[in-house]
Structures are given as structure tokens and as C-alpha cells.
Amino acid sequence: MIKLLLATGNTGKAREFMALLQDIAIELVTLQGIGLKLEVKEVGKTYAENAALKALAYARASGLLTLGDDSGVEVEALGGAPGLYSARYAPLQAATDADHRAYLLGHLSGLSRPWLASFHCTVALATPSGEVHFAEGICPGEIITEERGSNGFGYDPIFLIPELGRTMAELSMGEKNQVSHRARAVKAALPALLSFL
């Protein structure tokens, strides 16, 4: 069975990828599972560039087919910020997810609502030889001030999906994996992934 390395140290992302890919005839492995530690700087100017940097570096280091991603939340009222910098938005050493949410809400304070936003995810599927396939997913919504829900991570508790009337953090894993940006990106990547099987 072909192995697919999930190139993320974020346990929340790894769990989502595992749930999304559980029905594919492929053995999913994590960085922790194979003991691979590698620091890849996200210096790209797009989600695709950052996803490719991670996927290629880990594919070459491990010798395995590798799935990397880059994602972020883009808020219209902030001109698309934090975007690429979502995971390192709050200017604090070792900032937590809660720090990033608070920092975002601080920037939105006083701006007219609704604060329309979208989650973006680009996945890169890379081979050790350097072949890369990309797929993208977008989930529209809005930012709210009240944190709701205990599922998910990052900006999920303040990201409302209006048609569901719930935040991303109020959804079960199964529900989230029907509508999230990551789910949509993985679904779009399936033809490329299946071509390797």
C-alpha cells in the first residue's frame, strides 16, 4: 500500500486530513509517526507557494508521496488580512490560537458589520522527484465577536457559516468535512491522489 505523508505539525489539521482521506486505499503517516523533524520556512507569496515548499521538502526528506497545505482566513474589511499570515498574525512570541483571534477582533473593532470573510486552503501533493499537484478550497462566512463551539482550532470559534447558523467550531468533524476549505481542497486533489494508486 502506498504511504502518504501528512506534512503538518498541527494536530488539528492532521486529524482533519486523516478523516477526509480515511476511505482511500492509502496508508496515512504523520511527521511524528515517522520521527521526521524539519523546519520549513513559509516564505512564499501565495498559499500555493507555501504548500509546495512544505510538501516538496518533506517528500524529499522522507522519500514519500507528501501532502502539504497552507491556509488562512481572509477578512474583506481588512483587505484580505490576515490571509497568508493567519497562523502568525498576533505579534507575540509563541502566540496561541486565542491570541490570534483576539488580535483579529481588535483590528475589526469599530468597523461596520457584517465582517465577511472566507477560509482559503491550497493543498500540494508532492513526489520525492519534485512533481507537484495543487488543489484549492474556499469556504465563505463571516467573523463574529462571540466565540462559539469547542471543536476545531485556529479561527474556527469566531468563523460563522451563515447558512448553517453555526461557527466552524460548532460543527462535528463529519459536518466540518462537508463544508470546510480543507475538505474542498482535498476533494479537488483526489483525482491527482488517486492517479498514484
Check 23, 69, 70, 99 and give the catalytic one. Answer: 70
Contact 142, 114 (CB under 8 A): yes
Say if residue 108 is exposed, middle or buried (CB neighbours under 10 Å; 0-12, 13-18, 19+): middle
- Dihedral in degrees, nearest 10, Cα atoms 188, 162, 97, 135: 10
Examine the residue annotation and report whether 99 is marked as an active-site residue of this protein: no
Report the C-alpha gap between 16 and 156 in whole angstroms.
13
Report the C-alpha gap between 186 and 111 in whole angstroms.
34
Q: Which residue has the cell 460563522?
A: 160
Q: Say if residue 82 is preceded by a cis peptide, omega within 30 of 0.
A: yes
Kindly state the DSSP code that residue 157 receives in the 8-state scheme: G
93-169-153 Cα angle (round to 5): 25
| Catalytic residue set | 70
